[in-house]
Structures are given as structure tokens and as C-alpha cells.
Amino acid sequence: MATDMLREIGEQPEALARTLGRLLPLQPELARLLRDRRHVLFAARGTSDNAAVYGRYLVEVHAGRGAALAAPSLATHYAVQRDLSDTAVISLSQSGATEEIVAVQTWAREAGAVTVAITNDPASPLAQGAHIALVTEAGPELAVPATKTYTAQLLAVAVLVDALGPAGPSLGEELARVPSEVAGLVAARHGVDDAIALLARSPHLLVSGRGVVYGTALELALKLEETCLEPVRGLSYADLRHGPIAVVDAGTTVLLVAASHGPMLDPMIELARDLTERGASVVAIGGDQRLAVAATEHLAGPESSEALAPLGLIVPGQLLVEGLARARGLDPDAPRGLSKVTQTDRS
């Protein structure tokens, strides 16, 4: 029997197409609102925070503006006074009801920021309180682990960054191809079942990525933790190199995510070879044929540019997590101790 999570993974192409149709017409208004904002802050928690990591890199690389992740406690607990008149604050929450993120948005607006909400609910407090809301069209998501709402958030981030006035080529034509590319990845399941079998017998897991796809590594690690009840570290390439690689041995499986193009691909191939020499098993998602050869198992990724690769790279990872949870006798739709909307502080 198919799980809700698997069904919702399969709904992503349609959800992305609907979201693209809704958000692209908002680009002129986004460009006007954000034209004079030199800095961008992203506020989010959980899965949305991983979408924000993607946004931070994309703003810096593609739009040439300074970007950072906000520390929500500065607003909610420390009541820090800031002048944000040169800043755009992008708040992400699939429900739009996470009180902490709503509070950060309110704080930012009062401090002079232009506020943009990315959410799946147009009636939510987050959407209603923003200068402009980018409402995704993922539809209701029944499984607790976010899949289609996450990729829809990534798409919203890409549409927003493209509207900022790219330092490089516009993403417009490539954005239009995202739904069909994701559909192909969902249908193919290339390498997924073999990778599930490998992970099912692996006692220790690590996940690593670099640059624009680093958020994908963090999201994959989070999904393994919450869905498969597996303690997994999501590490950047640099962080893994600077110490944790010392614990990698024959009992370790490392999942590497990489775009098929871009400046980070060669270092990830080198890392895969190094990990293999240390006796680890390597499951690679994306990259090129060289990375596939260097890995123990390979899951095909998208052929898109590095800028949009995260929208496709997470899909084989989602399929992997869903299958691994079932292989371990767990319910991927309802991980233990989790709910769809998480509040950071309990009243």
C-alpha cells in the first residue's frame, strides 16, 4: 500500500507547475519592492530553514547581494533593536502559523524591513502580515515529513532571487523546465532501491554537500532523522574535511549530493574517492559519471544548472528516505513525536 509520503512525492511536478504559474507574475512587484534593499535575511525553522540555506547561497551567487540566516531569538527573546531599512526579510513557513517566525516578521517590519512571506496558506498570519506573500500551490500535505511543500518553497525562493536582478543569466527559461525534470526523477527511481538496501544495513550515516546544494544535504539528513529515527549529521564539505572525516571507517555510509555542473563538482568527486579509500560506502545523488564511478551506489540527479539543481536533487533523497523507513518497519507518514506545525517554545 502506497504511503501518503510517497503519493505526495509523486505530486511534486504538478505542485511545482501550479506554484510557478502563480508566482512568476509577481516578479515585477518583487523587483520593485526589493530594488533598494542591499541585504537579505531569511527567517525559518526546520525544513523551511534548509530552504532558507539554499536561498542564502542563491542570493549571494546569483543576485550578488549580501544574505544571511536570521537568528529568531534576537526578536523573540532578546528584543534586539535593529535598523533594517536597507534589508529584505524573507520568512518561510509551510503552514504560515509558526508563532516564532510570525513574530520575527513583525519585528522586521517594525524595524523598517520589506517583508516577504513564503507559505502554503494564503490566510495564514505570516501571509497576511507581509508586504508581499509568495503563496505556494502544493495543496494539502498529509504526511508529516515535508516533501512537496519543501520543493515548492525552493521554487518560490528561486523565483524571488531571479526577480532581484541576477548577476548572471536569468533563470526564467530553466525555471519552466523544473516540473518536467522532477517528474522524470520521480518516475525513474534510478538507483533508489539498491541504495535503500545499502543504508538498511549501515550502522552509521553522514550526509554532505557544498555550496548551493548544501541545504539539500541538511534536508536529507533531517528527513533521515525524523522519518527513519536515525541520528544523522548533515555536514558541509568543509566541515567534514576539518575533523569529522577522522571517524569515517568501514562501518560508515556517506551520502553525497552534488549538481551535475559547477565549481563544487570536482571537490565532491575527490571527497567520494577519499571516503572510499577510508573504507566507507558512498551513496552519491547527482553529479556526473565520474561521481557515479567513485561511489558505491549512485542515484541520478537533474541535468539543470547548479542554481536550480536543489529542486531536483532532493527528489531521489525523498524516495530513499520513504523506502528506508518502510524497510525498517516504520511509518514514514507519522514519525514518532512529530506534528505538522511545530512551535519552538511551548507555552
Question: Catalytic residue at 223?
Answer: no
CA 194 to CA 51: how far, in whole Å? 28
CA distance 338 to 334: 7
Please choose, from the candidates 50, 48, 142, the residue with its C-alpha nearest in 3D space to the C-alpha of residue 97. 48
From CA 309, how far away is CA 312, in angstroms rounded? 6
Q: How far apart are CA 345 and CA 99, in angstroms?
A: 9
What are the residues whose beta carbons fall under 8 Å from the beta carbon of 153, sequence distance 6 or more? 48, 51, 92, 94, 118, 136
Torsion region of 44: left, alpha or beta (phi above 0 gives left; psi -120 to 50 gives alpha): beta
**Alpha carbon of 327 to those of 227, 323, 338: distances in Å?**
12, 6, 20
Cβ contacts of residue 78 below 8 Å, gap of 6+? none
Residue type, 165: G
Query: Of residues 117, 274, 340, 343, which has the active-site annotation?
Result: 340
Residue numbers annotated as active site:
340
